[in-house]
């Protein structure tokens, strides 16, 4: 895939005033979807058949038409579009890219989660995690907000606008006052996923660590922030498996190990270590990356699979999200061989002219066309770095 095609593809999706799109999660955002999920987590015996029926209905009956489903704007999409355009601007000096990035930034300053201590963002829809944990539409997350923070940080480095700096300081207030410390010792720290004592998720902690590496570049209390980063890092190291992998929720016996969440951890480790010196980070990163290349890679297709171990059946063969995030890590580590081969494999398998599909099912059929949140925009953000 050449640079001209890459830039045209990014322009096609990112140079738009409206970035609303359908989403693989659409059917689970409906009242029926929410209730079936609640039933499933309350009683898997009674909930299995309705959940399976709804999954198959979404996959094979309404996947193209999106009948009765609604498109939506997502903060993370705006942020990733903005980062993609900034990357193009830095390479070309084309001011149109920066001007459109500003439009996405202005949208984010108007559309954030309300009634918190600072600016913050979530998914914008209700999510049922289990029988005890449900997030409402306004819930901000430690896995979403860092993308907007990173976008603002990149924009500020170019423009030096005080408004953007103030927004970054506001996000810092959110992390300091609304994110819960679930556990802290002299050596490590574990932070929440949302804004209550909810659950321990490794990639969430890594995103919080990365967010503080950005705050470190703006705040005067650097020793405090550095200490926090290193404690979060120590937790991430403590739950890395001997083989280099990370369990999604390390203290949950019913958890899983998948590709893109593992890559989230790796990219946050890499980017944080570029700001703060982290003990033995090269070893931790290399071990994690080796595990991904050895365990998820399919030689036949040149793509990366979703799971090493899973906690429920799936009809997904390959997902663009997994492959985009592996490519992202490969770029950060300058793994040229993987960059070249995976770039070609993604283009061959997921892209048809100006349409990008987010997954391939067990029968080899492409599904979820142009669903920006999952995972078109993460892919575009990644290739904007090439």
Q: Please tell me the predicted confidence (pLDDT) of residue 1.
A: 66
pLDDT of residue 300: 94
Q: HEC profile for 327-379?
A: HHHHHHCCCHHHHHHHHHHHHHHHEECCEEEEEEECCCCEEEECCHHHHHHHH
256 domain-assigned: no
Question: Is the Cβ–Cβ distance between 85 and 101 less than 8 Å?
Answer: yes
In Å, how far from its chain's centre is CA 68? 27
Residue 52: inside a domain, yes or no? yes
244 part of a folded domain: no
Q: Note whether residue 64 is domain-resident.
A: yes
- 303 strand-pairing partners: 298
Is 90 among the domain residues? Answer: no
Phi-psi region of 249 (alpha: psi -120 to 50; beta: other; left: phi over 0): beta
Higher pLDDT, 312 or 308: 308
CA distances from 235 to 187, 204, 208 (A): 8, 12, 12
DSSP string, 290-314: HHHHHHTEETTTTEE-SEEE-SS--
pTM above 0.95, yes or no: yes
Q: Residue 35 falls within a domain, yes or no?
A: yes
Question: Which own/partner pairs from 290-293 qualify as long-range (CB within 8 Å, at least 24 positions apart)?
Answer: 290/244, 291/243, 291/244, 291/245, 291/262, 292/259, 292/262, 292/263, 292/266, 292/326, 292/329, 293/338
The DSSP call for residue 216 is T
The pair of structure tokens assigned to 223 is: 């020793």
How many domains are contained in the chain?
A: 1
Asked whether the bond before 375 is cis by omega within 30 degrees of 0, the reply is yes
Q: pLDDT per residue over 74-119, tens digit each?
A: 999 999 999 999 999 999 999 999 999 999 999 999 999 999 999 9
pLDDT for 129: 95
List Cβ neighbours of 136 (8 Å cut-off, separation of 6 or more).
126
Residue 100: inside a domain, yes or no? Answer: no
pLDDT digits (tens, 9 = 90+) for 125-173: 999 999 899 999 999 999 999 999 999 999 999 999 999 999 999 999 9
Q: How far is CA 173 from the centre of its chain?
A: 22
pLDDT at residue 136 in the model: 97
Count of alpha carbons within 13 angstroms of residue 155, beta-carbon side: 32
Domain assignment of residue 81, yes or no: no
pLDDT of amino acid 245: 97
Q: In which domain, by residue range, is 54 found? A: 24-69
Burial of 283: CB neighbours in 10 Å, binned 0-12, 13-18, 19+: exposed
pLDDT of 214 > 90? The answer is yes
Distance CA 220, CA 326 (A): 35
- Please give the pLDDT value at position 77: 98
Mean pLDDT for 255-272 is 97
Phi and psi torsions of 361, nearest 5°: -85, 180
Structure tokens at 189: 């720290």
Look up residue 274 and give its two tokens: 């570029």
Angle between helices 202-215 and 145-159 (to 10 degrees): 20
The mean per-residue pLDDT over the stretch 358-368 comes to: 95
**Residue that has been written with the tokens 């200490």 in this structure:** 227
Residue 337, exposed/middle/buried by CB under 10 A (0-12, 13-18, 19+)?
exposed
């Amino acid at each position: 895939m050449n640079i001209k095609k890459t830039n045209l593809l990014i322009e096609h999706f990112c140079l738009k005033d409206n970035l609303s799109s359908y989403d693989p999660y659409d059917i689970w955002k409906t009242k029926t979807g929410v209730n079936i999920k609640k039933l499933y987590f309350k009683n898997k015996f009674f909930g299995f058949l309705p959940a399976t029926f709804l999954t198959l209905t979404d996959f094979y009956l309404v996947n193209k038409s999106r009948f009765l489903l609604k498109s939506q704007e997502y903060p993370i999409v705006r942020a990733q579009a903005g980062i993609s355009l900034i990357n193009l601007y830095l390479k070309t000096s084309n001011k149109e890219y920066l001007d459109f990035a500003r439009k996405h930034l202005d949208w984010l300053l108007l559309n954030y989660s309300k009634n918190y201590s600072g600016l913050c963002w979530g998914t914008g829809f209700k999510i049922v995690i289990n029988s005890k944990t449900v997030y409402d539409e306004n819930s901000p997350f430690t896995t979403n907000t860092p993308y907007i923070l990173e976008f603002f940080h990149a924009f500020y480095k170019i423009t030096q606008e005080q408004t953007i700096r103030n927004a970054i300081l506001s996000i810092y207030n959110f992390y300091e006052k609304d994110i819960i410390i679930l556990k802290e010792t002299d050596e490590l720290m574990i932070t929440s996923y949302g804004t209550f004592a909810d659950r321990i998720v490794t990639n969430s902690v890594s995103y919080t660590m990365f967010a503080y590496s950005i705050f470190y570049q703006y705040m005067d209390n650097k020793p405090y922030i550095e200490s926090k980063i290193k404690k979060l890092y120590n937790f991430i190291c403590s739950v890395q498996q001997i083989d280099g992998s990370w369990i999604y929720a390390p203290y949950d016996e019913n958890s899983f190990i998948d590709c893109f969440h593992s890559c989230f951890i790796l990219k946050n480790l890499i980017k944080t270590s570029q700001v703060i010196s982290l003990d033995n980070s090269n070893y931790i990163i290399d071990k994690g990356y080796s595990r991904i290349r050895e365990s998820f890679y399919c030689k036949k297709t040149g793509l990366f699979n979703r799971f090493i171990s899973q906690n429920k059946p799936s009809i997904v063969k390959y997902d663009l999200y997994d492959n985009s995030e592996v490519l992202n890590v490969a770029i950060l580590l300058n793994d040229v061989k993987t960059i070249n081969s995976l770039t070609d494999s993604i283009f061959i398998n997921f892209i048809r002219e100006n349409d990008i599909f987010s997954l391939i099912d067990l029968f080899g059929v492409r599904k979820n066309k142009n669903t920006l949140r999952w995972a078109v925009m993460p892919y575009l953000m990644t290739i904007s770095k090439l």
